[in-house]
Each structure stands twice: as C-alpha cells, then as structure tokens.
Structure 1
Amino acid sequence: MTGAAVIPLPQAGAQAASAAQAHRIAGSVQFQGLGKTYTSSAGEVQALQDIDLEIQPGEIFGIIGRSGAGKSSLLRSINRLEQPTEGRVLVDGEDIAGLGEAGLIRLRRRIGMIFQHFNLLSAKTVRENVALPLRIAGVQQAEAAARVAEVLRLVGLEGKEDTYPSRLSGGQKQRVGIARALVMRPEILLCDEATSALDPETTLSILRLLRDINRRLGLTVVLITHEMSVIREICHRVVVLERGRVAEMGPVWQVFTRPQHAATQALLAPLTRALPEDLSARLHDRAEPGDLQVIELPFAGEAAPDLAVLAPGLRLVQAQVDPIQGHAVGRLVVLAPQGFDPATLSAKARRLGHVAAND
C-alpha cells in the first residue's frame, strides 16, 4: 500500500530508526480556509470557520477547546467522516474532497482512528476485534495473523488474544482499540477523546503508549481533548479552538508559558495552583512601608531561576514547575524587599537564560 508506514518491530537499532524516518515524509495534513456548517430544523450552526493550519508528518498534534468549539468536526474532516462546507483538507498534499469511493477507502486505510468509548464488538475476542479491518480489506489469513500478533505485542496485550472485551479493564480495551487502528499500518492516527473515559493513572499509561508508538513508527498522531494535562503530557504543538475558530496555536511549551487568548487561559486554569486570598490581594496592591512585596514571576527556560543568583533577599512563597518539551515552564511567587521592580526581575531572568512569560 503506497505511503503506508510499515511497523518496524522485527528490525533493531539504526535500521529500525531508518525505517521509521523513511516514512515520515507521509502523514501531513493541511487545512485551507476550512468551514463547516450544520443545518437542522432549528437553523444553521457554524461549527468551523476559516481554519488554516498544517500538521507536520510525524508530529503529535493536539486540538483542544471547550465543548462545542469544533474539535470533533475538525478531526473527522481528516478522514472525511465530516464533509467540509467550504475550504479544503489536504492529506499528503492531496485534496481529499475529490476522492471517489475507492479513493476514500484507500484514504481511510492510511488513517487509523481510536475512540473515547473503544467501539469494540462484545461478541468477538481481542484477536477477532483487531483482525476485523484486515478481514474487510481481504488480507490473507496468514498475513493477518502475523499483523495481529505484531500489534498486540506493540500495545502490551500478549496473552489476551482470546479474551472477550467484558473481561478487560478500560485501559486494556483502549489498547485493543489502538491495536485495531494500527493493524492496517496507517501513516496517521486520529484520537477522538481517547482518554476521557479512563482514570488518571490509566490515562497516563495510554498517553505514554501513544508517544512510544509515535517515536517507534514515525506516524503522525492527531488528538482532540478538553484537558490541557493531556496536551502537556504528549503533544508537540497544539491549536486552541474557540467557537469554531483558531484562538491560538504553537509549540506546547510556548502556549503554556504565554497563553494569549482567554479560552487558553481558561483551559489552563485548572492546572494552576491558586494563591491564598491574602497573598493574591497583595500581589496587585502596593506594598505598605516596611512590608515585603509579593511578586509573581512566570518563566520558561532550561531550569527554574535560582533565587540566590536572581536577586538578594528574595523569599520563595510558592513554585509550580512543569517540564514540557525540554523546558521548565511555570511560575514563582516570591517575597521581595520593598522597591523591587518585577520587570527588573523578569529582565534579569531572561539574561540568565530564562524567558519570562510576561515579557
């Protein structure tokens, strides 16, 4: 199948890395002026408006927004489960709007998809669920058996081949869904709220699996979520949607460090530890004579600023630091002697190799 990523499990070392890299030329997605309008008896609803963005081959790209922001409509336009009202979707440079039935089948074999509620057939075993796309595609039995065994090893389900879904945990069910999506050796993997039905520990294990699959196979992963913690854990870049439009987009560490749009700030709020009310009030008020000032210092750099180097007399009140894409991203709340200028602290942090988020 032309352009499909071959799972390089039988290979090792540099050979495997080379095989994965060779297939990273496939898997690009581009939206050009994309719009989607739904029509019902209640009238028209514009779900997407003027979407212009490009997803690079081999990256993990996150789409986030509040309910009704247009996330699902955008994701499902990639495999044409949703037909745009205007604009174009290009997969590997090809406008998919013009595909006939045969072309659409070929496209969907190159694009795997996993779902929030797993979508497994309860009357079929793990092996049978994973093999279903191969049976539909007419793959020979021997090759199908080999591919199923291969992807079940990849997702950590060896020994579960003859188990029925009712005997599996939520995380195991999602691993079956991932294996089924990979068995056709796609170049793009779409994740439709794939961790929303899972507990936090299982969510983390599934995200780590998706990250490992991305690294080992070199395929493009596009996921939608309403949780910034998911974006922080796995994505390279993120787009924030608000009412069907792009609110902002960029590398995850930059969006987390310097959120520009109110929608992004609202989505990040649950991840930010609130200050006690007394300190929060002092953060914005002028310090009384003899009092210490409360100063907030957002930052992003290779490490958090060293207070002893940054300025004498600073006392740490609160710190929140997250490692994102090789950057230490977070904020410090400090007590400083009266007369300290927050802008001066930010400038010094920048000179020391930290980029202050409010600069």
Structure 2
Amino acid sequence: MLGLAFHGIHDPVRWDTASARPIPAARTATAGGAAGTVRFEAVSKTYRSASGTVQALDAIDLAIPAGTIFGIIGRSGAGKSSLLRTINRLEEPTSGRVIVDGEPIEALDADGLVALRRRIGMIFQHFNLLSAKTVRQNVALPLAVAGVPKAEIGPRVDEVLRLVGLEGKADVYPSRLSGGQKQRVGIARALVTRPAILLCDEATSALDPEATLAILGLLRDINRRLGITIVLITHEMSVIREICSDVVVLERGRIAETGPVWRVFGQPEHAATRALLEPLSRDLPEDLAARLRSDRTAGASLLLRITCAGEALDLAALTGAAGAPVRLIQAGIDRIQGRAVGRMIVAIAGAAPEVEERLRVLGGEIERIGYVAADD
C-alpha cells in the first residue's frame, strides 16, 4: 500500500493499489468538533464604501454536517460568495461567529489561519491555474508553499492526479487542456493538501453541460471515497439537484429556506426558491396558455399544477378524490435522494368548486392555473 493522507500533512491513509482508490481512515476531530463540520452563528457581513453600505449577510444561523455535500444557492447578490468565503476567512464577518470543526476561527492567529486553510481546499469558477506551469507543477504548488519535502511531493501529486482522472496529463500545460480538464487540475490542487472540507465557488459555471455533469460526478465520487465535506455555491438548481444532500437558499443576505434537497425542490416555501426552480419547470403549453380563462364557464376544465414530494402521487387516487375525469397535460418526476419529486399539470373536466380541497388530502401543493372552456 502507498501512504497518502487527506486530513493532515503527514497522516497516513491506505490506498488500494488494484483500484487506485483510497481506503478512508477514521477521521479526527479538532477542538472537540467532528472533522469537516461548519457552523455559522448569527453571521453578518457589511461592505462599506464611499458610495454607501451593503448588507451582504444578515444574521445567518446554519450548520453543515461533516461528510455532506451542502449547496448554497441564490440569485446574484444574495450573499453566496460572502458566506462561502467566511469558512476559510477570505472574508471576515462583521459580526457573529464561524466555527470549523468545533473551533471558532475568528480568534486564530497567523499560524492558526494557515493551518485552517490547509484543512480547507477551494476550487474556483475560472480554474486559477498558472499558465507557465505544467499540470504537475500547478498541483504541487500548495505543497511547495507548505514546505513539504520534495521526496513526498511527487508521489502525492501522482496520486491525486490519478484520483481525478488526469494521470496522463502531468507534464501538459493548461493551454492544452479542455475546460473540464482544467477544473480537474483545480480539484487535484485543492485535494493535494489533504483537506477535510472542499469549497466550490461556482465550480461548473464556466463549463459546458457535458463537462458540468462529469465534474459533478467526480465531486460526488470524491465525497463518497474520502468522506470530505463539500460546500458549493451556485445559481443553478440543476447543480443542486444533481449532487447535494442539503441546501440553503439565500435571498438578500438572509436564509429564505433550508433543508434536504428533495423537500426544498418538492415543497418550496419561499418565492425566491420558486423563482430559482422555474427554469426546471416546463411552462404551460402555448396552445393552452392562449386559451386560458380566469373565470369558470359551463363545461370548462379546471387546470391545476400539482407538486408532490416524498411520495409519488397516485393518479387513480387523484381521479377518485376529484370526483370527475382527470386528464394529464404534462408531468415530470425526478428521484432525489430516493424520493419522488414531481410536478404535473392536470385538467379536470366539470370540476366542482371544492375540488382543490378534496385533492389536498392526497398531499402535495395545489395551484390553480385557470380554466379552459370545453369548446375551445
């Protein structure tokens, strides 16, 4: 077995030489907290300039468990980057505390801050690679800065390049790499210091859809193999759906809502969340939208949008509860964390006024869209 660790500069981790996969060792804790945990306690951040002040974060209370893939999402200016960067103190909160592995980080001295940042890797939207250095040299740079002996650097760089699928690219310069390969170099560079936490700052925003899926798959695999806590920020709900177990939605520096991804997707409580989910929802078909009426007329079909989370909606039960024929207009069902999350539009012919109340007993959210007259 080769010695390689991901949780401290000289801690050994065993590798399976047949599969080139690390065998996770028991994780250690610092200052009484589990390795890889993050907690925000009333964290606020205000930026001041000659033109005025901006409240980027406002009393954020949030806990990120060790070993999870946790998403932070919000529209532009919601405070995502500010919150992420307080974890490694690239941003200093104006008030409140950030606690990493049970240790408040605001009181760390210079040496403590260096040690913290070696436990927290970070990857960026635009890769931040040095064009004049090879892949190997880019990945080795954090180790050289940390003073790791040269004899250790080569094997450790080789191992992380194998982990991210770049074992044949060590001596290539960034200009010869695709966007997805450049991001893999960024991930390898972040992992080479053996962090307990990996921060991802819009890590897929500069990639095409195919490369995005590949990088998200790699991050998921790294989380599964190494147990590293991954905290990522994005403005794309599709990224959250693909990879995260939990998510917090920020709006104007505050928490709009937070919870398991399946619930936030299936039962969004805040207007900001619903707005972020809108691109994933198919609009009402154009032919029906052109014929839609707000008032009920004799023989009209009622159009409802039904959102369900946790359990699949039984169409037979839907028809029974409606007490009238139900026609499926469109539907989309995802499986997120082993749970059904779906949205459908149905037309109920001759629906009674109380039909929505009848349907609510089945669970899910019911939204009235309008009416389509039978003769349209």
Q: TM-score, normalised by structure 2?
A: 0.86
1:94 and 2:108 matched: no
Post-superposition offset of 1:221? 0.3
Which structure's residues are more often helix, by fraction?
A: 1
| Partners of 1:287 and 1:338 within 8 A in 2 | no
CA distance in 1, matches of 2:318, 2:356: 12
Kept in 2, the 8 Å contact 1:211–1:234? The answer is: yes
After superposition, the C-alpha distances for 1:68-122 in whole angstroms (9 at most, x for unaligned) are 1111111111000111111100001101011111101100000000000000011
Q: Which residue of the partner structure matches residue 213 of structure 1?
A: 222
- Check if 1:186 corresponds to 2:213: no
1:325 aligns with 2:325: no
For the structure 1 residues 83 and 187, does the alpha-carbon distance in structure 2 shift closer, same or farther, using more than 3 Å as the test?
same
RMSD, matched Cα: 2.5
The amino acid that maps onto 2:316 is A
Aligned residue for 2:348? 336
- How many angstroms apart in 2 are the aligned matches of 1:291 and 1:36? 53
Offset at 1:286?
Answer: 5.2
How far does the alpha carbon of each residue in 1:292-317 deviate from its partner, in whole angstroms, 9 at most, with x for none?
Answer: 33232211234x33423542632211
Taking the aligned partners of 1:301 and 1:77, their CA distance within structure 2 comes to: 34
Q: Is the 8 A contact 1:20 1:217 kept in 2?
A: no
User: Equivalent residue for 1:296?
Assistant: 305
For residue 131 of structure 1, what is the amino acid of its counterpart?
Answer: A
Query: Which stretch of structure 1 is more off in the superposition, 306-315 or 4-13?
Result: 4-13
SS in 1 for 2:316: helix
- Taking a change above 3 Å as real, the CA distance of residues 181 and 7 of structure 1, as seen in their structure-2 partners, is farther
Segments of structure 2 that go 5 or more residues without pairing to the other structure are 368-376
Spell out, residue by residue over 1:49-69, the C-alpha distance to the aligned partner (whole angstroms, 9 max, x if none).
Answer: 101101100011111111111
Q: Distance in 1 between matches of 2:157 and 2:34?
A: 25
* 2:52 equivalent among 28, 43, 50: 43
How does the TM-score come out when normalised to structure 1? 0.90
| Alignment correspondent of 1:204 | 213
Residue from 69, 78, 93 that aligns with 1:84: 93
Is the 8 Å Cα contact of residues 39 and 63 (structure 2) preserved in structure 1?
yes
Amino acid at match of 2:25: A
Relative to 1, partners in 2 of residues 1:76 and 1:284: Cα closer, same or farther, differing over 3 Å?
Answer: farther
Alpha-carbon distance between aligned partners in 2 of 1:156 and 1:329, rounded to the nearest angstrom: 33
Supply the distance in 2 between the matched residues of 1:6 and 1:47 (Cα, whole angstroms): 41
Residues 206, 8 of structure 1: CA spacing in aligned structure 2 closer, same or farther, 3 A cutoff? farther
Structure 2 vs 1, CA of residues 97 and 167 (structure 1 numbering), >3 Å: closer, same or farther? same
> In the alignment, which residue of structure 2 is the partner of 1:163?
172
Separation (CA, whole Å) in 2 of partners of 1:284 and 1:98: 62
Q: Which residue of 1 aligns with 2:365?
A: 357
8 Å Cα contact 1:297-1:342 kept in structure 2? no
Q: How many residues align?
A: 351
Partner SS for 2:170: coil
Does residue 314 of structure 1 match 2:326? Answer: yes
- Contact 1:308 1:314 survives alignment (8 Å): no
CA 1:283–1:9 in 2, change beyond 3 Å: closer, same or farther? farther
Equivalents in 2 of 1:184, 1:326: separation in Å? 34
Match of 1:145 among 134, 147, 154: 154
- Equivalent position amino acid for 2:271 in 1: A
Q: Give the CA deviation at 1:198.
A: 0.5
Identity of aligned residues (%): 64
Provide structure 1 residue ranges, at least 5 long, that are not aligned to the other structure.
351-355
Q: What's 1:353 paired with?
A: none
